[in-house]
Amino acid sequence: DVKVTQSSRYLVKRTGEKVFLECVQDMDHENMFWYRQDPGLGLRLIYFSYDVKMKEKGDIPEGYSVSREKKERFSLILESTSTNQTSMYLCASSANIRTGGFDQPQHFGDGTRLSIL
Amino acid sequence: SQQGEEDPQALSIQEGENATMNCSYKTSINNLQWYRQNSGRGLVHLILIRSNEREKHSGRLRVTLDTSKKSSSLLITASRAADTASYFCATGQGAQKLVFGQGTRLTINP
């Protein structure tokens, strides 16, 4: 089974702090994704990556950056946190369409609930 | 942008009854997927249906897809307390990205 591991389940930070959220997958997937989930808004895509050192903006990239130095690891960086970044952050991975076809499910970690005070 | 819209937003039924959730979308897709999320956890993939398929089964789950109406339904038969969760549809539109709806919160009462 695919395992996607997020480094923390819960984090509490103060406004203005720099935060790193780490995600590791063990299935050699090319694609990795970061979402945030808020009540009434569903899942919104922040950034995704098709390959090492590649990144693409999602729907709400403002205030975030990402890093993908190794295939199995995708980090989400909040450079200077604000209270409106309090949310549940979910990481996911999937196989590439070149190797697995268009119909690839995404595999999710258990999420990091981040609170910014 | 959120494309899939689930209906109803919340559903409460008795254990043993069937639960039906619907999803509508706006643009053409190459597949539609359903996911489950238990409280405080990540999403778990349930079933995928391709745009050229009309119906798919997996255990107690039955998914239909009507591309002419741009809609899909998820039926859970003989519901159990463990089925209590939020259910999301997600549309694949030709690339690796999925667009998720806001989900249906399903409660199974014992």
Pair B65, B54: CB distance under 8 Å: yes
Cα three-residue angle A96-A113-B89, rounded to 5 degrees: 45
Using CB atoms, pick whichever of A33, A42, A103 lies closest to residue B2: A42
Distance from CA of B38 to the nearest CA of A (A): 10
Residues in A 7-36 with any Cβ partner in B closer than 8 A: 31, 33, 35
Compute how many other C-beta atoms are within 10 angstroms of the C-beta atom of residue A104. Answer: 23
Question: What pLDDT does A42 receive?
Answer: 86
The partner residues of A73 in beta bridges, in order of sequence, read: A24, A70
Q: Is A109 on the interface with B (CB under 8 A)?
A: yes
Residues of chain A falling short of pLDDT 50:
none
**Which residue in B has a C-alpha nearest to residue A37's C-alpha?**
B102
Q: Is A105 on the interface with B (CB under 8 A)?
A: yes
- CA-derived radius of gyration, chain A: 14
Question: What pLDDT does B98 receive?
Answer: 84
Torsion of CA A92, A98, A101, A107, to 10 degrees: -10
Residues of chain B in contact with residue A48, where contact means CB-CB under 8 angstroms, are 96-97
Question: pLDDT (tens digit, 9 = 90+) per residue, B20-77?
Answer: 999 999 888 888 999 999 998 999 999 999 999 999 999 999 999 999 999 999 999 9
Residues of chain B in contact with residue A4, where contact means CB-CB under 8 angstroms, are 42
pLDDT at residue B2 tops 60: no
Residues of chain B in contact with residue A44, where contact means CB-CB under 8 angstroms, are 2
Torsion of CA A39, B29, A107, A10, to 10 degrees: -20
Residues of chain A in contact with residue B45, where contact means CB-CB under 8 angstroms, are 105-107
- CA-derived radius of gyration, chain B: 13
Q: Is A1 on the interface with B (CB under 8 A)?
A: no
Q: What DSSP letter does each residue of chain A carry, written as one string? A: ---EEES-SEEEE-TT--EEEEEEESS--SEEEEEEEETTTEEEEEEEESSTT--EE-S--TT-EEEEEETTEEEEEESS--GGG-EEEEEEEE--HHHH-S----EE---EEEEE-
* Distances, alpha carbon A44 to alpha carbons A21, B39, B93, B101, in Å: 16, 18, 16, 9
